[in-house]
Amino acid sequence: MPSISNKGITMPESPIRKLVPFAEKAKSEGVKVIHLNIGQPDIKTPQIALDAVKNNTISVLEYSMTEGSEEYRKKIAKYYAKNNIHVSAHEIIVTTGGSEALSFAMGCIADTKDEIIIPEPFYANYMGFATAMGIRVVPVVSHIDDNFALPPIDEFEKLITPKTRAILICNPGNPTGYLYSRDEIKELAAIVLKHDIFLVVDEVYREFVYDGKEHYSILQEPGLESHAIMVDSVSKRYSMCGARIGCIVSKNQEIIKTALKFAQARLSPPTYAQIASEAALDTPQSYFDDVKKEYVARRNILIQELEKIDGVKIGRPQGAFYCIAELPIANSDDFAQWLLESFRLNGETVMVAPAAGFYASKGLGENQIRIAYVLDKESLKRAVNILRKALQTYKG
């Protein structure tokens, strides 16, 4: 029998989705599964985006431009200008989700066996994209006791080699919800300039920043025009995960020209999704104000309820809608599977994401879980109560 590629064998499983068969089995047995495992918001998509697709008059569903329609890219640039990020349409390439933007970014800057430094825990698919490209992820550890703040810059410095091509961060972060400050961004800017490498920043959660803090984009930092690459997406901003529209943005025209070649190989981003995404740019600010208020309330309830459980340690999110919780157990993979297979409270159980899959370093995160607080407040309360009772039974 022909063998599978080594790349295929080493491609990591999603820590978010690998427990799906156990969840589906529980549901088939009549159990209600409360999903804390995946960042699929329950917030309604702006009606203006849905109506744009419903009311379109297209008679032939043609290929769009490889880089995305010019009209859409011009509107994206205007959106960024409102956020004090000044770019032009020719510095933007529309992609099939933020995922493709990340893959393009990696493909543009790194060759096989090159290295990218990423603070861990990090969005698990970064490892998947890197593996697909033959790139080595070099982790630098952030700690729950520091609320997952940027590790000391000298820790990055120790890891930089002739193979290092970039530092990659998510701001605000998935899975931690940590918001990198302006000073932390400036520290990263200084080190990439010193070593002449790239700084790739995933900014898909830009709108979701709490406690009076402000998001500082890498494209606002002067002097990084040749070094900064931003990745973005409509998925979370407009609760449009199924649209699969994102973009890669850089003032470095060599990056844009190279990304365009990768984009040409996949022909074009989806037309209907671009129509919806372009319309979504006209969403009123009141939508975001309401959504942010709702996520803050959910975060506060989640933390308040988790803090009532003995032995649980929590990182306090400052943005996005994720939280890392450290549990008084040895193995969260085993615990998460046990929840789905064996534990029921009033006919319900909870699905969580074991956090070890968000680390590249072996042995880290094994007693942690990621919680996505994308459910209504009452569901969150019930879910944490289930966790509380489950931990009592599991440890006993």
Cα separation, 199 vs 215, in Å, equals 17
* Statement: residue 7 has pLDDT above 90: no
Our measurement of the distance from residue 341's CA atom to the centroid of its chain's CA atoms, rounded to an integer in Å, reads 28
Structure pTM?
0.95
Residue 62 — φ and ψ, nearest 5°? -85, 165
Q: pLDDT tens-digit profile of 79-133?
A: 999 999 999 999 999 999 999 999 999 999 999 999 999 999 999 999 999 999 9
Question: What pLDDT does 396 receive?
Answer: 60
Q: pLDDT tens-digit profile of 337-396?
A: 999 999 999 999 999 999 999 999 999 999 999 999 999 999 999 999 999 999 999 976
* Average pLDDT value for residue range 175-191: 98
Q: pLDDT tens-digit profile of 90-102?
A: 999 999 999 999 9
- CA distances to 31, 80, 302, 355 from 348, rounded to whole Å, are 5, 43, 18, 22
Our measurement of the distance from residue 388's CA atom to the centroid of its chain's CA atoms, rounded to an integer in Å, reads 27
Q: pLDDT tens-digit profile of 21-39?
A: 999 999 999 999 999 998 8
Q: Which of 176, 117, 202 lies closest to 358, judged by CA?
A: 176
Q: Are 124 and 15 in contact (CB under 8 A)?
A: yes
Cis bond leading into 12, ω under 30°?
no
* Average pLDDT value for residue range 236-259: 97
User: DSSP of 9-25, one letter per residue?
Assistant: HHSPPPTTTTTHHHHHH
Question: What pLDDT does 6 receive?
Answer: 87
* Average pLDDT value for residue range 67-71: 97
Task: Name the pLDDT band for 13 (thresholds 50, 70, 90).
Answer: confident
Residues 6+ apart with CB under 8 A from 260: 66, 67, 93
Q: Which of 357, 311, 396 lies closest to 37, judged by CA?
A: 357
Exposure of 154 in the CB half-sphere (CA atoms within 13 A): 0
* Statement: residue 272 has pLDDT above 80: yes
Q: Are 271 and 62 in contact (CB under 8 A)?
A: yes
Domains and CATH numbers, the chain: 6-44+286-395 (3.90.1150.10), 47-280 (3.40.640.10)
Cα separation, 373 vs 177, in Å, equals 11
> What percentage of residues in the chain have a pLDDT greater than 70?
99
